[in-house]
Chains A and B, each alone.
Chain A
Amino acid sequence: MNDIVIRVENLGKRYRIGASPERYKTLRDTLISGINAPFQKLRSGLSSSHSSAGPNLIWALRDISFDVPRGKVLGIVGRNGAGKSTLLKILSRVTEPTVGSAEIHGRVGSLLEVGTGFHPELTGRENIFLNGAILGMKRLEIGRKFDEIVAFSEVEQFIDTPVKRYSSGMYLRLAFAVAAHLEPEILVVDEVLAVGDAEFQRKCMGKMSDVAQAGRTVLFVSHNMSAVLRLTEETIVLDKGKLAYRAPTPQAVDYYMAAGLTGAGERLWASDEIPAESAPFLPIALRLRDTKGQVVDTLRSTEPISLEIEYRLDLPITGLRVGIYLLTMRGEYVFTSFDLDNPTQFEQMGARQQGHYISRCTIPANTLNEGRYILSVNASTFRVKRYFWDDHALAFTVDATGAPGKQWPEPRMGPIRPALDWVIERL
Chain B
Amino acid sequence: MTAEQLTKPHEDVIILKPTHGLAALNLRDLWIFRELVLFLAWRDVLVRYKQTVLGATWAVIQPIIQMVVFTLIFSRAAGLSSEGVPYPIFNYTALLPWGLFSKALNDAGRSLVNNRNMITKVYFPRLTIPVASVLAGLVDFSIAFLVYIGIILYYNFAPNSTYTYTVTPALLTLPLFIILALVASLGVSLWFAAANVIYRDVGHILPFLTQIWFFMTPIVYSSSEVSKEWQIIYALNPLTGVVEGFRWSLLGIHSLPLPLLFVSAGVAVVLLITGLIYFRNMERTFADEI
Contact = CB atoms under 8 A, between A and B. Distances in A.
Secondary structure call for the A interface: loop
Interface in B152-206: 198-201
A103 B122 contact: no
B139 interface: no
A42 interface: no
A390 interface: no
B47 A135 contact: no
Nearest to B17: A101
Nearest to B19: A96
B121 A70 contact: no
A104 B285 CA distance: 21
B200 to A, nearest CB: 5
A102 B19 CA distance: 13
A81 B114 CA distance: 26
Given A26-B200, A99-B18, A103-B15, A134 B122 contact: yes
A294 interface: no
Nearest to A70: B6
A117 B35 contact: no
Contact of A24 (B121, B199, B288): B199
Nearest to A71: B6
B123 A94 contact: yes
Given A105-B13, A136-B124, A139-B35, A119 B43 contact: yes
Given A104-B13, A215-B6, A112 B200 contact: no
Of B51, B117, B121, B198, most A-chain CB atoms within 10 Å: B121
B7 interface: yes
A129 B41 CA distance: 13
B123 A110 contact: yes
Nearest to B49: A121
A2 B2 CA distance: 11
A39 B12 CA distance: 48
A145 interface: no
Interface string B90-128: 000000000000000000000000010111111110000
A15 B16 contact: no
Interface string A85-125: 00001111111111111111111101011001101011000
Contact of A102 (B16, B39, B119): B16
Of A94, A102, A107, most B-chain CB atoms within 10 Å: A94
Interface in B200-234: 200-201
Contacts of B287: 89, 94-95
Nearest to A1: B3
B284 A3 contact: no
A138 to B, nearest CB: 6
B89 to A, nearest CB: 36
Contact of B35 (A99, A108, A133): A133
A301 B117 CA distance: 46
A92 B117 CA distance: 15
Contacts of A185: 8, 11
Contact of B14 (A15, A93, A121): A93
A377 interface: no
A144 interface: no
A25 interface: yes
Given A26-B199, A70-B6, A112 B122 contact: yes
Ordered nearest first, which 4 A-B pairs have the shortest CB separation?
A: A93-B123, A101-B17, A133-B39, A95-B287
27 contacts: A25-B199, A27-B201, A30-B199, A94-B120, A98-B18, A100-B17, A102-B16, A103-B13, A104-B13, A104-B16, A105-B14, A106-B8, A106-B12, A107-B12, A108-B123, A110-B122, A113-B117, A116-B117, A117-B115, A117-B118, A117-B122, A119-B43, A121-B50, A121-B51, A134-B39, A134-B124, A185-B8
Given A92-B122, A121-B51, 14 more contacts: A24-B198, A25-B289, A89-B287, A94-B122, A96-B17, A99-B18, A103-B16, A112-B121, A117-B117, A122-B46, A133-B36, A133-B39, A133-B40, A134-B36
